[in-house]
Homo-oligomer: A and B are copies of this chain.
């Protein structure tokens, strides 16, 4: 087990009707608020009205910035930064899913920075003063409600890049599973694929003797495998929605990676897809992860055999562990397929013609991954494995 520092200070307020508490929570942190959200869905569902009422009940002064898209854009972040400066905003409330939260985080780091906020994503500058943020979560997937990172897409060149800092972790996250009843099946399933990917990026490690976190990871994956079909069958199943929502947070607040070397190749490889083709991140991961496992598993048979046995309940064939592992890959693909997710680039309608360009871009700052370091050729091979 490696040395680590872990701190997840976010206050999680979880359960039915918890969004009504948002005014009281915000009041602890700020005087002038930016209310940040996506499109019309929170207005249609009535959530917008409930949040605004809760803010007004506490006499909280706020300005609004809507229009966050999936794979949130740098241009809107810059607009938000200008708005916060002009209005002297001291707290950002993100109401939405991971895209809105990530956009809020990027605005939060930019407000008190003199240069271009993209500098942080290119590693050109170190994050300093940050405006605190809070969250009302509507889509369990990215774990951004607890994580220290943000992923933003720069439309100039369609670069999708991340940056992170412990101070970026939200002060509070209000999580009412009922708010996810209205999610379309595809969004629900993509969210779970993203959650599972966050666990797997940590699970697949060469670090030995990490038994406790191995098992926490397996627990999280098994719970998703059990609960996604329930939520798809009955979108108003509170228990299944709640399990998915809470697991999504724990999958990515850092706990499951403590003491481990994490991988993150699949996320990088997927980012090129959703950067260029604007596919749903979780759906992209459902395509890339099985291909990645297929490409790398021979480098560490024990961790993948353990995954096959404990998570997918494949009876190990100790003479042919590769059979055991490949069976698990097929079970994982069947699981995603049954949830209505794509498992090939073809199903994502992604053609061949830019695969090389994506592999190039993915590795332009050096190889990706840590279980196995992957260079351009490897990434290209994985795209080809994912084709159909």
Q: Which residues of A are interface residues toward B (Cβ below 8 A)?
A: 1-16, 18, 208-209, 211-213, 215-216, 218-220, 222-223, 226-227, 238-239, 242-243, 246-247, 250, 255, 258-259
Contacts and interface: CB of A to CB of B under 8 A. Distances in A.
- Lowest 7 A-B CB distances belong to which pairs? A3-B15, A209-B239, A215-B219, A9-B9, A7-B11, A212-B223, A219-B219
A196 to B, nearest CB: 13
A308 to B, nearest CB: 18
A218 B223 CA distance: 12
A186 B7 CA distance: 31
Contacts of A218: 215, 219
A10 B10 contact: no
Contacts of A246: 1, 212-213, 258-259
A209 B243 contact: yes
Contact of A1 (B18, B239, B258, B259): B239
B14 A5 contact: yes
**What is the count of identical protomers in the complex?**
2
Contact of A242 (B216, B239, B259): B259
Contacts of A250: 212, 216, 255
A167 to B, nearest CB: 13
Nearest to A217: B219
11 contacts: A4-B12, A4-B14, A5-B11, A5-B13, A8-B9, A211-B226, A212-B220, A212-B250, A213-B246, A218-B219, A219-B219
A212 B222 CA distance: 8
Nearest to A239: B209
B223 A219 contact: no
A14 B7 contact: no
Contacts of A223: 211-212, 215
A348 to B, nearest CB: 29
Contacts of A208: 239
A243 B1 contact: yes
Contacts of A12: 4-7, 258
Given A215-B219, A220-B212, A246-B258, A7 B4 contact: no
A255 B212 CA distance: 15
A212 B14 contact: no
Contacts of A238: 1, 209
A311 to B, nearest CB: 11
A353 to B, nearest CB: 42
Contacts of A239: 1, 208-209, 211
Given A6-B14, A7-B10, A8-B8, A1 B242 contact: yes
Nearest to A246: B212
A91 B208 CA distance: 38
A14 B3 contact: yes
Contacts of A242: 1, 209, 259
Nearest to A221: B215
Contacts of A13: 5
A226 B310 CA distance: 15
A224 to B, nearest CB: 9
Contacts of A243: 1, 209, 211-212
B219 A14 contact: no
Given A14-B258, A246-B258, 14 more contacts: A1-B15, A1-B238, A3-B18, A5-B11, A8-B8, A209-B238, A209-B242, A211-B223, A212-B223, A215-B220, A216-B219, A218-B219, A242-B259, A246-B259
A243 B216 CA distance: 12
A212 B16 contact: no
Contacts of A211: 223, 226-227, 239, 243
